[in-house]
Amino acid sequence: MGRLFTTSTSLFAVLLMASCGPSTDVPDNPADLILLNGRVYTMEEDQPWASAVVVTGNIITAVLDDDGEARAFRGPDTEVIDLRGRFVVPGFIDGHVHFNNAGSLINDANLMAVADDQGLAEEMRRVLGILDEGEWITGGLWGAYEEWGLGAEAAGDKSETRWAPNRWVIDEITVNHPCLLNSFDSELFLANTTALRAAGLEDDPVAGMQLNDEGVPTGLIYRGSPALERIRSVRTPKSHERHLNENRAALKALREAGIVEIHDIARPDQTARFVELQRNGELTARVWLRPDLSQGADLGAQGFTMGLHPDSGEPDPFLRYGALKAYIDGIMGTHGALFFEPYDDQPDNYGHYRPHTSDHPQLQVGNMEKMYNLIHAGLEAGFVPNVHAIGDRGVALMLDLYERLMNEGVDLSGFRVIHAQVIRPQDFPRFQQLGVIAEVNPYHISDDMRWMEERIGYERSKGAYAFQSLLDNGAMLSFGSDWPGTSAAEYHMHPKYLIHAAVNRTTLNHTPEDGWFPEEKISVHEALKAFTINNAVAALEGDIRGSIKAGKLADITVCDRNLLEIDPDDILEMNVDMTIVDGEIVFRRDR
Ligand SMILES: [Zn+2]
């Protein structure tokens, strides 16, 4: 891994000038932006702290302990910002995002935490303020957290105690908007009267509609029914502009969270929207696209490889192809992650494979040769693999496959095990031995701890989200949010949630008090590292960005408090005050 930290020497000249002291004249090389009086945590071992950062164009041109020296770069057009002692870090890089899904939870209905009529009505009012008149309100995923709140015993029990919405709760509010909302498991849908009318179902019910005691449709509609088909057939698909607006809302959320780059699980239609937003000057986060592993050979045949823009085919540090994403197993949330021993609460279930590793119809028989061949095809096209592996067996099989590639002489730089959620004791040292990155999702701890032990027991849970054990064994951590989550769990993207989860290992309500398996808590320093320089290294660009250093790209986040000094219980209070991407201030918080 060491070779990835190669130092950039191109800016030595600027550094030498900086150390010559302040000059009274306008400098030959005036800066565009000077940040003064900061507590700048650079993530560089040679100079861990600084006071001032000088930016020219999109490059950090000096990092200084003395504000006076920084002022020497001031020209007539230089913006000078006094940070008044605020905490500055390299811009946060989110190593795992599903960008395409994120905006719909902002601009369309999000009912994941809603389990009563009042919550439903409130959410409809919120969405009305965003959409144009007549637009469909869709999505929702109601009941996601009601299910988890009930625990495993009650889960799957569709008893009367469960909240179910009806159309009369939302009709008055949504009269100008047809609605088709769904439960988190997509077993039930809710149509308002406007939608029923559009499908001709208000007075003329067909199979699949729930009726009340008077025989009147309540608006609830069952999965796979003729009624659902009818409504879907009249629903207007989201327009291109609405998709773009969802993207814009997601980009705004990223800016406000101090995130300067995402490693996105790319879909072709979203990739085209990124290209359009970039052309419009609206793309305010760098995007490292991770297409599906199966696309490696095709992309290679079209002349694409890692680092190249998906439209121009030229190198582009703002929007470009990154690694190929693959999956070995399922997820914990559905008992699909692959284990050596069965789930404690499902004694016949060991989890399952995914199509990259299995041709079996029920995904019960693994075929690592299949993935081996796909990875080779990707490598030939110049793409490294980033592979999802969650259960202890999934992780072990993936490490075996990487080891096989290493023994063939393949350089494993940039290879990741994505999630690496449950690891056997003997597999921890293998990450360092192979030089494979553990891409982890700390916020999953805050969400999953509620049911983890009842699913895999105490012993196996010791190796779950075991970040300190990974660090003790020399592994490199890469943080990602997995924003916006699955249909059953919402994963927050703001860095405060991820840092809180990794450092405190509690829920958002600070339970359990000492943290879940507290020996696996990591320091704030390690969390910041996993969120900044490590993610640049994980994208094979550690030499050009990811820390605050002269010569690197100017991606900088200003926080309202020093995370290294505050009580860790207060991490969730943190705000981002400023976000700088590629030398541009893309967000400033009003204070
Ligand atoms: Zn994901």
Q: What is the pLDDT of residues 375-400, one digit of tens each?
A: 999 999 999 999 999 999 999 999 99
How many A from CA of 93 to the centre of ligand 1?
15
Q: At what angle do helices 240-256 and 268-279 cross, to 10 degrees?
A: 70
Answer yes or no: is pLDDT of 571 > 60.
yes
Helix (H, G, I), strand (E, B) or coil at 372: helix
**Residues 367-383 as b or e (16 or more Cβ within 10 Å = b):** ebeebeebbbbbbebeb
- pLDDT, residue 24, reads 55
How many A from CA of 482 to the centre of ligand 1?
5
How many A from CA of 332 to the centre of ligand 1?
12
| Angle made by CA atoms 135, 141, 145, in degrees to the nearest 5 | 145
pTM score, two decimals? Answer: 0.91
How many A from CA of 485 to the centre of ligand 1?
7
Percentage of residues in the chain with pLDDT exceeding 70?
93
How many A from CA of 218 to the centre of ligand 1?
35
How many A from CA of 162 to the centre of ligand 1?
29
Whole-number Å distance between alpha carbons of 466 and 487: 25
Strand duo 556-559 + 87-90: pairing: antiparallel
Whole-number Å distance between alpha carbons of 467 and 529: 13
pLDDT band for 149, please (50, 70, 90 cuts). low
How many A from CA of 420 to the centre of ligand 1?
12
pLDDT band for 44, please (50, 70, 90 cuts). very high
Mean pLDDT within 278-300: 97
Residues with CB under 5 A from ligand 1 (ion): 482
How many A from CA of 586 to the centre of ligand 1?
26
> Model confidence over 494-541: pLDDT tens digits?
999 999 999 999 999 999 999 999 999 999 999 999 999 999 999 999
How many A from CA of 331 to the centre of ligand 1?
10
How many A from CA of 265 to the centre of ligand 1?
7
Cβ distance 442 to 498 under 8 Å?
Answer: yes
How many A from CA of 441 to the centre of ligand 1?
9
Cβ distance 580 to 586 under 8 Å?
Answer: yes
**Residue 335 — left, alpha, or beta (φ > 0 → left; ψ -120 to 50 → alpha)?**
left
How many A from CA of 277 to the centre of ligand 1?
23
Q: Is the peptide bond before 512 cis (omega within 30 degrees of 0)?
A: yes
- pLDDT, residue 28, reads 83
How many A from CA of 289 to the centre of ligand 1?
13
Answer yes or no: is pLDDT of 7 > 90.
no
Residue of 28 and 365 predicted with greater confidence: 365
* Position 153, amino acid: E
How many A from CA of 578 to the centre of ligand 1?
27
Whole-number Å distance between alpha carbons of 258 and 581: 9
List the alpha helices (DSSP H) in 5-116.
Answer: 12-18, 67-71, 99-102, 104-107
- Give the chain's mean pLDDT: 92
How many A from CA of 171 to the centre of ligand 1?
35
Residue given tokens 């969270």 in the structure block: 257
Helix (H, G, I), strand (E, B) or coil at 500: helix
How many A from CA of 84 to the centre of ligand 1?
38
String of DSSP letters for 430-460:
HHHHHT-EEEE-THHHHHHHHHHHHHHHHHH
How many A from CA of 200 to the centre of ligand 1?
39
How many A from CA of 334 to the centre of ligand 1?
14
Q: At what angle do helices 495-504 and 443-461 cross, to 10 degrees?
A: 30
> Model confidence over 16-40: pLDDT tens digits?
344 444 445 678 889 999 999 999 9
Answer yes or no: is pLDDT of 9 > 80.
no
How many A from CA of 480 to the centre of ligand 1?
9
Whole-number Å distance between alpha carbons of 7 and 564: 26
User: Looking at 66-147, which runs of residues are DSSP E strands?
Assistant: 79-82, 87-90, 92-97, 109-110, 137-142
